[in-house]
Structure 1
Amino acid sequence: MYRNMITVPRETPKKSYLKEKISSSNKKATIVISGGCFIVVCLIVVVVTFVTCNSAVTAEKEGLFVIPSGNIKFNPNQKSTYEEEISSLNQFFIDYYKADDTQVITCPLGFEPNATQVCILPERYLYSCNPENVWNYNTTSPCIILSYNGKTTTTKFDPYDDIKELPSQMPNLLKDLIKEERYFYNDTMPGVVWVSCTFGSTWYSYYGPGFPKFFFFNTNLPGYRKPIVALNLFLCNEINTTVEITCNMWAKGIDNEKNPETSVKFTVTVEKH
């Protein structure tokens, strides 16, 4: 390659030939160094892209996930301690309720959207869990959002059709709530993939503690909204204590031990000095 790039005259004096050879060597060195730098830059770009992509993936867990993610720790009397949590909740809220060209509708239980429709939880059903109330992080009852990211999961959700189908492992509190929902819908089991958490709280949703099955329709539409439910935690008796919380989804065919995408764990600590 380099031989074709540099032509040496046949009758060049030795001194000139040496000078030309040195020049050639310098050019080769420059090319090698430049090539090496290019490779290093490419490797850096690949590494940065890999890290960035992985950060994006871990920020929104595949399957059931919670916002804010990770270990939540804050002091309700110090705004600086929960600004990150509020920021992540606000961003999710903005993205969820943004206007676009998709046909976004409020879907009642039993409804099945057509191929162009996307179901959404009405904003008013988040109650006190909203940006105006800073998601209650200025109190000992912070809010979290539970959602489900099912772009690549293969688990199929089939809601329970009969109260007798509820598994023995399901918490009794959730069973009681389902019975109330069933009574409200004239002894008919609502088509909901239920969710339970291992700590006392209030669920804010139009549909009870869970995700109606129509939230899993049309997931490939550009404006698809993930299913959400708000959870208001009551931690006034858990000050300066780290509370570990596990949330599980419940439907026919789900085994929370074999299907890790249907469970999520996180911790919350309310600090007061």
Structure 2
Amino acid sequence: MSRNMITVPSETPRKSYLYLKEKISSNKKATIVISGGGCFIVVCLIVVVVTFVTCNSAVTAEKEGLFVIPSGNIKFNPNQKSTYEEEISSLNQFFIDYYNNATKADDTQVIKCPPGVEPNATQVCILPEKILGHECNPENVWNYNTTSPCIILSYNGKTNRTTKFDPYDDINELPNQMPKLIKDKIKQIYFEENNTMQEVIWVSCTFIGIHSYYGPGFPKSFFSNTNLPGYRKPIVALQLILKDEINTTVEITCNMWAKGIDNGKTSETSVKFTVTVEKN
């Protein structure tokens, strides 16, 4: 597979990025200068009221290891926009940071890295925008105006250490404790790829009402060159199907799967969160 070099994200992320950027510029307030008593007091009220940046519990708390966006306990009413604005802010912030190409250094190249594509020593990976699907994007408010909201799973490696995970390379070595749903998905991909195992760190979640637009899992390539400027964390976009769980708190645990991972002994490869869809 050839490496697809990019300098800017493709059309869908670029459109979304410009959409968010416009919201920044339209909400900036000017600096105010107040004079009095022979002296000038410059009060800098550069207050940026941005829909995707807030300082509250819903903004992404990137713990080491596997984490979810929005973080914490998600509770919203799809008919009341004010109840999910914080969740949208958190997702938008992560989205624009992920696809914004301006943060990379000149000597770092950004390439698209679906499974099978590996970066060289001066490259970092970005995933194709198709993993977000049609519902999981800023213009669609990440589908929080329905009972099928979107979340993003990502992985934050330990500081100053390159995290190494070894993907399963044999369909017969999948562990017994791996949920049947993810096993079936891996087997489906295995047969579709002419009996070839993808180099993916798989991710499963306990709640079965989930639609994944990718894999689901993190390509192995995202665990290389983590210290390069412009490095992006891997992402998996998930849509939670909660139409039968109205006014009920659903607890979800997600786990990563690869050789050497023991989900019973480490919190690094596991994350737990709750979601409640409220409707009168």
TM-score normalised by the chain length of structure 1? 0.76
Is the strand fraction higher in 1 or 2?
Answer: 2
Matching residue within 162, 167, 181 for 1:173: 181
Aligned partners of 1:94, 1:121: CA distance in 2, in Å? 13
Structure 1 unpaired stretches of 5+: 1-54
In the alignment, is residue 204 of structure 1 matched against residue 213 of structure 2?
Answer: yes
Aligned partners of 2:117, 2:225: CA distance in 1, in Å? 13
Aligned partners of 1:145, 1:125: CA distance in 2, in Å? 10
Letter in 2 for 1:74: F
Contact 1:151–1:219 (8 Å) recurs in 2: no
SS in 1 for 2:268: helix
TM superposition outliers: structure 1 runs of 4+ over 6 Å: none
Aligned pairs (5 A) from 1:27-46: none
Contact 2:113–2:219 (8 Å) recurs in 1: no
Q: For the aligned residues, what is the CA RMSD?
A: 1.6
Larger radius of gyration: 1
Aligned pairs (5 A) from 1:58-207: 59-100=61-102, 101=104, 102-127=108-133, 128-152=135-159, 156-199=164-207, 200-205=209-214
Please say which of residues 248-257 and 153-162 is displaced more in the overlay. Answer: 153-162
Aligned partners of 1:242, 1:108: CA distance in 2, in Å? 34
Aligned partners of 2:128, 2:199: CA distance in 1, in Å? 18
The structural deviation recorded for 1:108 is 3.5
Percent of aligned pairs with the same residue? Answer: 81
Contact 2:130–2:213 (8 Å) recurs in 1: no
Deviations 1:92-138 (A, max 9, x none): 00000001344111123222211111111112321120001100000
Is the helix fraction higher in 1 or 2?
Answer: 1
SS in 2 for 1:238: coil
Letter in 1 for 2:210: S
Equivalent residue number for residue 265 of structure 2: 258
The structural deviation recorded for 1:58 is 8.1
The structural deviation recorded for 1:68 is 0.1
Q: How many residue pairs were aligned?
A: 216
The structural deviation recorded for 1:163 is 0.9
Matching residue within 226, 233, 239 for 1:232: 239
Aligned partners of 1:221, 1:154: CA distance in 2, in Å? 11
Letter in 1 for 2:68: V
Letter in 1 for 2:198: P
Contact 1:156–1:253 (8 Å) recurs in 2: no
Structure 2 unpaired stretches of 5+: 1-56
The structural deviation recorded for 1:155 is 5.6
TM-score normalised by the chain length of structure 2? 0.74
